[in-house]
Structure 1
């Protein structure tokens, strides 16, 4: 009978050992993957990548992707000194430092050779290219006005044209190019000068990032280069210099630098805090080494699986994952706490005894984290995959390795004994005057806090760019009249000509908004590459006017009238025009054929939030034109899913309550109520502190439900067991430290997430012992409680 019993145990032991060796091979593979991954980390810093894409609409998705790619590597710098010579010297000194650094490349968008080629390319089509102002003038100009214009150009001391007078008697061609160049911009001494509203000339420098902006080593090479260039430029300008910097790479680098600090603070801080708690509780290096190893394996597996699943890891996911050290260590701490409380039980027997409870804890935690992935948010699904993978890998490491590597005798410590013994002195809830007064205070606190609690669905809650960089971006946008990618018009049609004609109708309507002061301007492909229909209409205006000018000027000069020439019929095609070097700014706006239909983007300049509605309705009635407001769309999505997750949270509490009722019957409320109270108190605390509730805050409440209810369950399952209470306290303390550090994040969403869990986990740990059943007679106490470390000398 003994041999029969020993045989299955021996077989189970061998199977366990083989699984441990197999897991070692997996861990070695993870180690190799981490080496490869961190050589060139695939880290995503785009805030929009966290949000749902427009996958239901191919052209809208293509438009958003094209706008994001267009500005990915661009860096813009504007310099102003006391006068133009000083500004020019500063610009040259700035560019010299940047070129030498090799972190940025100078963009030669104003290359003279490219300009001459573009002029030569467009010249055959010039009679079909007019600005709106020229078009209106030609429609209403009298013969005398046309003659005066031609004579003024003929006798102008600077010529005023790009060719002979005979080819362009009215000077229409240079005015068209000036409109393309941009208002207030000119090439001055080899540097682009931009004049602001007060008449000051700024030097405009454009660069392209030569390397990935994301680095997790805490360095900021772009910022370092620009700081050094600014110092040299200031010296060249004589000490007084204003510098404005902008561009997506600068925001990405700032986010990466902040992330490096937060990963070190949150991740390493959580890890050191957990290891310190393990040392204080168990007074041995072995638990520290094993718990630390399990955490490292869990994080490595999380990064590997996330990068394999999504192709990259988002920056916020990485920062969020740094807090998992305070949750994933629970399995190891539970094991060593029970080993310390029951040293007579062999390691493998102890793990077999704990395995059902640990597996249930893993399941509840995984379900809580997987709730993050219910909403169709790529960022939240990444976090769900990252967290569940980390927890599962840590659990497997603890279960398979700890029984084999934990070969020593557990040590007892005064710290552990004090924590375990504190349960016996923890008060229980009783219906008396003190309890009633305390309940009244709690109700008033919750009521007042919830009344003050506000919600926020602002997209800016997902990013944390430095304020000075945001100020520079706003100033640059005003100076250059840069369009915003947040709001634009999407134009669609059966072919390219239909799209261009729809663009032209739209820009005519937008001109009324410009005249009303609601808009500064727009950027559209049709302004530089008009439709064939408009080109023909413009030729019908230009050709008779120029013929009239030549004839009348010749008569005034006493020369014979020029011979009539055949009307030019050359038409400019949009595809040919976009291939020109100077058309580079227009290429992101032309989507071409997408899913069987053509599309383009019309971007807006100088649009203020107060005029969004007025400008949006300008497109009403224009077929094929859609108003796209990405900020409003994402805010609506955040609002929708915050409400949806709120209802899911309510359903979760009901489901958990029913499950507890099935397990604990009339005592189920004792495990359920502490989590409910902690959730309400944490929300009230946010209200009193003035921190708005965002989608991430609701998701934090989901995690609070999944993690916090375990404390009440454990106290009911192992009533009076000091070793179990020790494990609960250590787990709660490490979780509090992890999410408490997450509340230090500069990203508002993560800050609110961490703050909610900081309050929630702390409160549920504090409240759960109050709701324990009243003490039973000693004869009915569980046998395991008698072996508690409280009674260990």
Structure 2
């Protein structure tokens, strides 16, 4: 029977090998980080808007190059541009020069009469013929260089003010063919570059960051007092990738080396190391194939998370070799049969714990859950089916293993004595107070761990430029293009009141650049009437007969606008058709205080087709909701595990169950005592503890008084601690929260489990 299982598993492994060859030849790994985030199934248009804005922002690198005077700032900008241009395979300049402005002015010239600001609209509707005539006379004698067009085309100077309103979207202004601004005792040149690869696609190395740092060094070396301030999602993404890479190499390889050293000290043989390595390798290969078959694409971060199998999948091999030590090769079959019930029960609890991660609506977590569950199952089957056949040599008991196995007899055992009861009462009070002090905190901002220099540059750029944020915006819906633009206009009317109160700096909308056709007709009629009165007043005053210029008889359409040069700055905010409706995004500038967000949410109330979107708040709410769901799942999981243990161990099942319960409660209490927030990633760590921690009690109950079982538990605990617990040293807040929960829980459960072992002479069977 054993040989048949070994052959059957070999055929499965062969099929996996064939699939692996095909997979690596034809399939590419998914590197889009956004694919890991939850989708809003109730509002796919919100996801579409978020993705479009994020992809646009994910390619932009905004730089301000400054110096004490304008000539020095220009020289510094030249140096920075030269360095950035050398990375032409990685970066390309975005158009921010004055030629784009000239092209936009020419594009809009036939439609000048229907482009009015709200303030102009109010003034024209109430101004008297005398006021209009006086303004027109003043504009007539104004120097020609101060106007965008001749007097006949704009007798009231309306176009100049309209363009100034558009220019208010940024502090930068054209100067000597560059975009310039002044602030913080420096003259600045604005440079806009775009990464040729989205920042949300994980790459190899911090190439954009390295290029920007070379440009910074060159600016500081070439221009005394020169500065370069840079911000952009590519810089943040590369910093996060570099941090993750360093942590994976340091923590991952460090923990693997420590585990291998421990295995060598325990067994003093290469055979256990090689066979355990085979089980890990096959576990990862099967996990990858299963994941590729279940999901359309396998994400790169799934493989990164899958490296954590090193801390769990080798447990089955440890238990086998710990029990096999000191026994003749002929006893391999009986050893495996004796271990099989406990190992199968441990596998079930661990797989259930991993699959529980997939309950959350995060596609990334679901993929990681399937990968890990499949990998564990494959490692288990490798040990069960192949180890008895491949482990043919002798495996003597080492002095290290002998001493450690014997240490179980010196471990304190819980008993009904006053000292234990007092200790339990004190511990109960401490745990209760700690849990009472525990503070849930699901704000997404708490999970950000960006380098301080990037945050400083981002804040300085925000102060100088006032760039809009893609995290909060209004989504506007309509049955047609024109209805969307009209609803934008209604929304802007309400927002103008908040701008005047300085609640936020301003907004950027498609209708700023393209009014609805109805608005264009109204404005064209209003400006025609007002300018006719102004021209008549000028004619009466001067005795001349000037004529008003003619404009396009047709309105400016969306199709024509989007194909023109003026649409470049706003095109990403027009989402177009999604389903049966049209959508656009209105973005906000100067949102520096989160306290104003509720007032903005109120603006959307009562406006048909307008929805306020705060992705930070939505994801924070999602984290909170699933933290509670996963918390309830832990409680249900512990009940289910207890029932499973009772079916196997009867009245003694509590001995394997209670250490994990205490480990979870103590971990939560410690978080409460030290003021660490309770987050979803903390709870996810506790979910894994439920599956892994119970394993230790299972093996000690399965083999009471057997020192080899305690040795295997110790090896499993240390390897899990090294693989997961060291994530508590991570600079990434989410991984650190997860790692600290695993670290505290693992240590607690490992220390407590031997205290609940069976008294001498008792048996669970």
* TM-score, normalising length: structure 2: 0.94
Q: Which runs of 5+ in 2 are unaligned?
A: none
Any idea what SS the aligned residue of 2:146 has?
A: coil
Task: Indicate whether 1:180 and 2:170 are aligned.
Answer: no
| 2:510 corresponds to 1:522 | no
> Which residue is equivalent to 1:43?
31
Structure 2: distance between partners of 1:35 and 1:568: 58
Query: Once structures 1 and 2 are overlaid, which stretch shifts more, 73-82 or 421-430?
Result: 421-430
Q: Does 1:131 align with 2:117?
A: yes
Tell me whether 450-459 or 105-114 shows the greater mean CA deviation: 105-114
Residues 1:289 and 2:270 aligned together: no
Is the contact made by 2:327 and 2:396 (CA closer than 8 Å) also made in structure 1? Answer: no
Are the equivalent residues in 1 in contact too, given 2:33–2:202 (CA < 8 A)? no
Q: Which of 599, 602, 621 pairs up with 1:636?
A: 621
SS in 1 for 2:388: helix
Deviates more, 1:54-63 or 1:214-223: 214-223
Matches of 2:215 and 2:457, distance apart in 1: 17
* CA–CA distance in structure 1, aligned partners of residues 572 and 551 of structure 2: 34
CA distance, structure 1, for counterparts of residue 315 and residue 547 of structure 2: 95
User: Cα deviations across residues 309-353 of structure 1 (Å, max 9, x unaligned)?
Assistant: 555555664554333311111011112112114334444554455
Distance change (3 Å), C-alpha of 1:313 and 1:20:
closer
- Is it true that 1:13 corresponds to 2:3 in the alignment? yes
Deviations 1:271-293 (A, max 9, x none): 21221111111101121122223
Counterpart of 1:598 in structure 2 is 582
Q: Does 1:495 align with 2:483?
A: no
Q: Deviations over 1:427-482 (max 9, x none)?
A: 21122232233223322331332232221111134442222212322322332221
For residue 655 of structure 1, the aligned residue among 640, 643, 652 is 640
Cα distance between partner residues in 2 of 1:464 and 1:36: 36
Q: CA deviation at 1:147?
A: 2.4
- Match of residue 610 from structure 2: 625
Asked whether the 8 Å contact 1:215–1:253 carries over to 2, the reply is no
User: Which residue pairs with 1:73 in the alignment?
Assistant: 59
Partner of 2:424: 439
Q: Is 1:609 paired with 2:599?
A: no
Mapping 1:763-782, distance limit 5 Å: 763-776=748-761
**Whole-Å separation in 1 of the counterparts to 2:547 and 2:405:** 109
Change in CA separation of 1:36 and 1:260 when aligned onto 2, cut-off 3 Å: farther
Q: Is the 8 A contact 2:283 2:374 kept in 1?
A: yes
Give the C-alpha shift of residue 214 in structure 1. Answer: 7.4
5 Å-filtered alignment, 1:494-513, equals 494-513=479-498
- After superposition, the C-alpha distances for 1:79-106 in whole angstroms (9 at most, x for unaligned) are 2211111111111100100101235434
Contact 1:298 1:390 in 2 (8 A): yes
Inter-partner Cα distance in structure 2 for 1:287 and 1:101 = 49
* Cα deviation 1:39-77 (Å, max 9, x = unaligned): x6532334xx44421122232222222222221211111
Q: Measure how far apart 1:552 and its partner are.
A: 2.5
Are the counterparts in 2 of residues 259 and 319 from structure 1 also a CA contact under 8 Å?
A: no
1:532 is displaced (CA, Å) by 0.9
Q: Does 1:449 align with 2:434?
A: yes
What are the Cα deviations for residues 102-153 of structure 1, in whole angstroms up to 9, with x where unaligned? Answer: 3543424235554444333322211111122222222232323322322232
- From the superposition, tell whether residues 312 and 205 of structure 1 become closer, same or farther in structure 2 (CA, over 3 Å): farther
Q: Report the counterpart of residue 379 of structure 2 in structure 1.
A: 394
Which stretch of structure 1 is more off in the superposition, 726-735 or 384-393? 384-393
For 1:249, the equivalent position in structure 2 comes to 234
Matches within 5 A, 1:382-421: 382-421=367-406
Matches within 5 A, 1:333-732: 333-348=318-333, 350-559=335-544, 561-562=545-546, 569-607=553-591, 608-732=593-717
Residues 103, 221 of structure 1: 8 Å contact kept: no
- Whether 1:202 and 2:192 are equivalent positions in the alignment is no
CA distance in 1, matches of 2:9, 2:309: 25
| Deviation, structure 1 residue 211 | 4.2
- For 1:213 and 1:635, how far apart are their aligned partners in 2? 22
Match of residue 177 from structure 2: 190
Could you tell me whether the CA contact under 8 Å between 1:150 and 1:553 is conserved in 2?
yes
Change in CA separation of 1:311 and 1:154 when aligned onto 2, cut-off 3 Å: farther
The CA RMSD over aligned residues, in Å, is 2.6
TM-score normalized with structure 1 length? 0.91
Structure 1 contact 103–225 (Cα < 8 Å) conserved: no
Question: Residue 612 of structure 2: SS of its match in structure 1?
Answer: strand
Query: Which among 125, 131, 134 is matched to residue 145 of structure 1?
Result: 131
Query: 1:248-281 CA deviation, whole Å, 9 max, x = no partner?
Result: 1111111111111121123212221221111111
Give, in whole Å, the separation in 2 of the partners of 1:183 and 1:61: 27
Higher alpha-carbon deviation: 157-166 or 243-252: 157-166
**In the TM superposition, what is the alpha-carbon distance from 1:398 to its structure 2 partner?**
2.8
Q: Secondary structure at the match of 1:599?
A: strand
Q: Aligned with 2:154: secondary structure?
A: coil
Aligned residues: 763
1:98 and 2:103 aligned: no
Unaligned stretches of 5+ residues in structure 1: 1-8, 783-793
Instruction: Sort the Cα spacing of 1:707 and 1:363 in 2 relative to 1 into closer, same or farther, 3 A.
Output: same
Pick closer, same or farther for the CA change 1:125–1:565 going to 2, 3 Å.
closer
Q: 1:60 to 1:21 in 2, by over 3 A?
A: closer
1-structure distance, mates of 2:111, 2:339? 82
Report the Cα distance in structure 2 between the residues aligned to 1:155 and 1:311, rounded to whole angstroms: 69
Task: Quote the Cα distance in structure 1 between the aligned partners of 2:447 and 2:660.
Answer: 27
Q: Which moved more, 1:217-226 or 1:282-291?
A: 217-226
From 219, 222, 244, the counterpart of 1:236:
222
Contact preservation (8 Å) 2:33, 2:201: no
Cα distance in 2 for residues equivalent to 1:719 and 1:85: 83
Helix, strand or coil: the match of 1:634?
Answer: helix
